Chains A and B, each alone.
Chain A
Amino acid sequence: MSTITGILRADGARAGRTRAALIALAATVAVVGAPFYFAPFQVFQLTMVLVYAVALAGLNLLVGHGGQISLGHGAFFAAGAYTAAVMLDRFDTGHLATLPVAAAGCFLLGLGFGVPALRLRGLYLALVTLSFAVFLPLLLKRLEPWTGGSMGLTVDKPQPPAWSGLAEDQWLYFLVLAVTAFALLVARNLLRSRVGRALLAVRDHESAAEVMGVRLSLHKTLAFAWSGMFAGVAGCLYTWVIGFVSPDSFSFVLSITLLAGLVVGGLASLYGPLLGAAFVMYVPNVAQDLSEAAPGVVFGLLIIAVMYVAPAGLAGLAGRIGSAAARRLPRTRTPDGTHTARPTPSGTSATSADPTPPEAEVQAQAEPVGAPPRTEEE
């Protein structure tokens, strides 16, 4: 511990970078080592957290960054899951082939979903999207020759190749981890791109974005499409991991759970979807342990408790704790004996003569609540 604090105090900018590198290293070790440490069922749970994280990242694009609301993302999730299941069951394609098809299919479905978003907003939009979520399971039951009706479909899980020496649950974990990491990276880059800026601009000030030449209809519909694509990918991963789909797995409660998970995790935050996914995965189990009779009540109370303590979600809470810690650290003197100045909310430090320190300090500071870190890349 003393060596760590020693490193942290070494030098303002370098300490920030070293600390970030240390955290990244620790996180990587934890993430890669987890399946070798935990029991198979726990590994399965972790895998499901990753699956939900992809869905929540997609929902975050729409709700968090796009400012639109969807109570129908369970439908995208189901569509992706069934796409994978039907492909595996009827056409015997490999698992990897199901991923791009589910993604593309749900992207197109999202474009269709986006059309009502052009005319409706707020609660009205929520209601229409909810109707999709209610309707899709019924449709899946009707399409029995394809979907197996109420009985659902059982499909093979991806099997670990012999050379890897991994158990099935471990192999699944790494497979899902790779897809999730890629998906989260895509989501992050999307937000920093021109499309992402347009999305945020539309949310912040619709008419101002429009007079800047941002085509509202296109970007609102695209938000649904991207968002649906991520949920579809998550659904596809779900089929891989569970190996079974049925209409009852995707009732409209799933849509509501996803939205609740995102809000609890933190809207418009980079880590919100991960935290929210963990909440969605683990808290119902905790609720079950606390009360056999009414786990729903405990789950609901826990949501209320989280929102009371952390109005900006768990990610916001983590950010607050982080910046409280950061407030302590930079008070130490830098080697040249000057205090490191921190930017105040109004950014008065930016007026200082030396242009480099603010960058470094911003890095050392915790992420601002609800905002992804900024970079210069396009």
Chain B
Amino acid sequence: MSDHTTDRPEDNLPGTDPTAQDPADPDFLRVSDLHAGYGQARVLQGLDFSVARGEVCAVLGPNGAGKTTTLRALCGMVRGRGSVTLDGTQLLGRSPEQAARLGVAHVPEGRGTFSDLTVEENLRVGAHLRTGVLRRGRSERAAVAADLERVYGHFPRLRQRARQTAGSLSGGEQQMLAIGRALMLRPALLLLDEPSLGLAPLVTRELFEIVRAVNEEERTTVVVVEQNAQLALDIAHRAHVLEAGRLVLSGPAAQIREDGQVAEVYLGVSVRSRKAG
């Protein structure tokens, strides 16, 4: 009754082996001609972009531009046409569970924490794939314990709340838990959908700083979808601006930030340089 493949996910995860770090791998995630939608509604109309290994990539755009749909297509929650490869492996046509096995960790919009489980149990669900029936070994248990420590290191507040149910956490803590849970997967690619949704500005800033730290310390590749363009641009290396299911602007984050006027037109929000903000 085991529900996992025989190979250990971390063995075939692209990007988790530090020796394989290739800074010059600009097509670690390669999205080409991606179409996706819901039933009759076509949302994405042919996206093309790449994310380099270890990079933070921001996907920006107004409501309904297709940002969330892009992430959902990457993790298998909606079906897409075209091609999405992660380190050469095709992601399209896989279920979310299979995508998770390939190292794609999705933090859904609205967090999706399991409110009746404790914080620690939530995190252990994140390690679900690594604790199968055939992997009850001491080394696996130790690895999961080490990962719990790692996540608690990033989010000290979660350690304080370890025995509380997730439903009793504040919004910011729940978002931290959702990200921490995704990190338990030891992801090669971390997908963050609107982490700032419904959070106070100060909490949001703290959260983004943690995401930056995770990216810098663990070299996790991150794709973050955000309404708050300025915050996202602060931690991103590159950014893509979506409108009506197409890319209208791509480039290094700094350049997009400087190019405030263009962004303003497309984003409908004011993007100022950090000095001005």
Chain B interface bracket (under 10, 10 to 19, 20 to 34, 35 or more)? 35 or more
By a CB distance below 8 angstroms, the chain A residues around B165 are 368, 371
B12 to chain A, nearest CB (A): 14
Does B163 sit at the interface, judged by CB under 8 A?
A: yes
Name A351's closest neighbour in chain B (CB-CB): B160
* CB-contact partner of A213 in B100, B121, B170, under 8 A: B100
Residue B115, interface by CB 8 Å: yes
Chain B residues whose CB sits within 8 angstroms of the CB of A241 once the complex forms: none
Is B1 an interface position by the 8 A CB rule? yes
B113: min CB distance to chain A, Å: 7
- A209 to B121: give the CA distance in the assembly, Å: 12
B75 at the interface (CB under 8 A from A): yes
Chain B residue at smallest Cβ distance from A219: B3
Chain B residues with Cβ below 8 Å from A358 are: 163
Does the CB pair B115–A204 fall under 8 Å?
yes
Question: 8 Å CB contacts to B: which residues of A326-378?
Answer: 343, 345-347, 350-351, 358-359, 362, 368, 370-371, 374, 378
Chain B, Cβ-Cβ closest to A192: B121
Q: Would you give the shortest CB distance from A104 to chain B, in whole angstroms? A: 13
Whether A211 contacts B106 by the Cβ 8 Å rule is yes
Contact A378 B141 (CB under 8 A): yes
By a CB distance below 8 angstroms, the chain A residues around B3 are: 215, 218-219
Chain B 108-123 residues near chain A, CB threshold 8 A: 108, 111-118, 121-122
In contact, B126 and A207 (Cβ under 8 angstroms): no
Per-position binary interface string of chain B over residues 127-150, scored 1 when its CB falls under 8 Å from any chain A CB and 0 otherwise: 011011000000001000000000
- Residues of A contacting B122 in the complex (Cβ-Cβ under 8 angstroms): 201
How far, in whole Å, are A368 and B128 apart by their CA atoms in the complex? 25
B77 neighbours in A (Cβ, 8 Å)? 207, 210-211
Q: How far is the CA of A346 from the CA of B77 in the complex (A)?
A: 33
Chain B residues within 8 Å of A197, by CB = 117, 121, 124-125, 128
Rounded to whole Å, the gap between the CB of B97 and the closest CB of chain A is: 5
> CB-CB < 8 A to B125: which residues of A?
197-198, 201, 209, 212, 214
Whether B168 pairs with A347 at a CB distance below 8 angstroms is yes
B117 neighbours in A (Cβ, 8 Å): 197, 200-201, 204
Q: Is the CB of A374 within 8 A of B114?
A: no
Is A222's CB under 8 angstroms from B1's CB? yes
> For the complex, is A194 an interface residue (Cβ under 8 Å from B)?
yes
**Residue in B97, B113, B178, B182 with the greatest tally of chain A CB atoms within 10 Å:** B97
Is B101 an interface residue when CB atoms closer than 8 A count as contact?
Answer: yes
> Is A205 at the interface (CB under 8 A from chain B)?
yes
**Residue from A200, A201, A362, A370 in contact with B163 in the complex, judged by beta carbons closer than 8 Å:** A362
- What is the minimal beta-carbon distance from A374 to any residue of chain B, in angstroms? 6
| B-chain residues with CB within 8 Å of residue A359 when the two chains form the complex | 163
A34 an interface residue at 8 Å Cβ cutoff? no
**B113:A205 contact, CB within 8 angstroms:** yes
Known contacts A194-B128, A198-B128; decide if A374 and B97 are in contact (CB<8 Å).
no
Complex: A350 Cα to B105 Cα, angstroms:
29
Across the interface, B185 reaches (CB within 8 A) one of A209, A213, A219, namely A213
Residues of A within 8 A of B170 (CB): 346
Interface flag for A32 (CB, 8 Å): no
B37 proximal to A (CB < 8 A): no
Whether, in the assembled complex, A283 has its beta carbon less than 8 Å from a beta carbon of chain B, the answer is: no
Which of A211, A345, A346, A378 is close to B75, meaning CB atoms less than 8 Å apart?
Answer: A211
Give, as a whole number of angstroms, the nearest-CB distance from B250 to chain A.
26
CA distance A204 to B115 in the complex (A): 7
What is the distance, in angstroms, from A209's C-beta to the closest C-beta of chain B? 7
Q: Does A208 contact B (CB under 8 A)?
A: yes
A198 to B3, CA, bound (A): 11
User: Is B185's CB under 8 angstroms from A212's CB?
Assistant: yes
Annotate B224-243 by CB proximity to A: 1 below 8 A, 0 otherwise.
00000000000000000000
Q: Which of B3, B126, B165, B182 has most chain A Cβ within 10 Å?
A: B3
B128/A210 in contact, CB under 8 A? no
Q: How far is the CA of A371 from the CA of B114 in the complex (A)?
A: 13
CB of A169, distance to nearest CB on chain B (Å): 38
Q: What is the bound-complex CA distance between A190 and B182, given in angstroms?
A: 24
Of all chain B residues, the one with the shortest Cβ separation from A107 is: B1
Complex CA distance for A345 and B117, rounded to whole angstroms: 15
Query: A2 to chain B: closest CB distance in Å?
Result: 34
Query: For the complex, what is the distance from the CA of A211 to the CA of B95, rounded to whole Å?
Result: 9
A346 neighbours in B (Cβ, 8 Å): 168, 170
Instruction: Check B168 against A345 for contact (C-beta < 8 Å).
Output: yes
- Interchain CB contact under 8 A, B114 and A347: no
User: A210 vs B94: C-alpha distance in the bound complex, in angstroms?
Assistant: 12
Q: Name the residue in A207, A210, A358 with the highest tally of chain B Cβ atoms < 10 Å from its Cβ.
A: A210
* Assembled-state Cα–Cα distance A139/B100 (Å): 44
B246 at interface, CB cutoff 8 A:
no
Complexed CA–CA distance, A201 and B125 (Å): 8
Question: Does B81 lie at the interface of the complex (its beta carbon under 8 Å from any beta carbon of A)?
Answer: no
Taken together as a complex, chains A and B put the C-alpha atoms of A211 and B109 apart, in Å, by 12
Can you identify 30 A-B contacts, CB atoms within 8 angstroms?
A194-B131, A197-B117, A198-B125, A200-B117, A201-B122, A201-B125, A204-B114, A204-B117, A205-B113, A208-B112, A208-B113, A211-B96, A211-B105, A212-B126, A212-B129, A212-B181, A212-B182, A213-B100, A213-B185, A214-B125, A215-B97, A219-B3, A268-B116, A347-B164, A347-B168, A350-B160, A350-B163, A359-B163, A371-B165, A374-B121
10 shortest interchain CB distances as A-B pairs: A208-B112, A213-B100, A213-B129, A204-B114, A211-B106, A210-B96, A205-B112, A218-B3, A211-B96, A347-B164
17 new A-B contacts, CB < 8 A, other than A194-B128, A212-B181, A215-B3, are A194-B124, A194-B132, A197-B128, A198-B128, A200-B117, A201-B117, A204-B114, A210-B96, A211-B105, A212-B105, A212-B128, A213-B128, A216-B97, A218-B3, A350-B164, A351-B160, A358-B163
